Amino acid sequence: LGSELALVMLDIDDFKRVNDTYGHQTGDEVLRGVAEVLRSTSRDPDTPGRIGGEELAVVLPGAGLDGAEDFAERVRGRIAALSFNPEDPATGGPFSITASLGVAGGRGAGVDAQDLVAAADAALYQAKRAGKNRSVVAR
């Protein structure tokens, strides 16, 4: 049978608006904050990383879909609880952000990495289309 493997892909909702409104330095703070949430929520075998732009992912070895969905929801909640203070007070006071997440998983040595990424990516975009700030699991 082999062990389970899950992938969680995350996209910061409306990140372009953050950069456009508060500046790229504040956008970088947001990225660092989200990265810290991923690091602090991950277990030792998990591998968080940045895919590019405002898209990040975590590989979860040994996690089934239910465990990966729980992880994604913990991450989503912790991201929504973050507060950021723009460097330029003229742009407004503290603000928060949300994220959309896609979850996919597989079992055994035959898990195809490209299929896993494609499934998580499709679930992520389903979360975006469904209104953002949610996790969707590819079933």
Q: Which residues are catalytic?
A: 54
Q: Dump the DSSP string for 14-67.
A: THHHHHHHH-HHHHHHHHHHHHHHHHHHS-TT-EEEEEETTEEEEEEET--HHH
Contact 57, 49 (CB under 8 A): yes
Q: 136 in helix, strand or coil?
A: strand
The closest alpha carbon to 30, from 76, 83, 101, 91, belongs to: 83
Q: 120 in helix, strand or coil?
A: helix
The closest alpha carbon to 97, from 120, 80, 111, belongs to: 80
CB atoms within 10 A of CB 132: 14
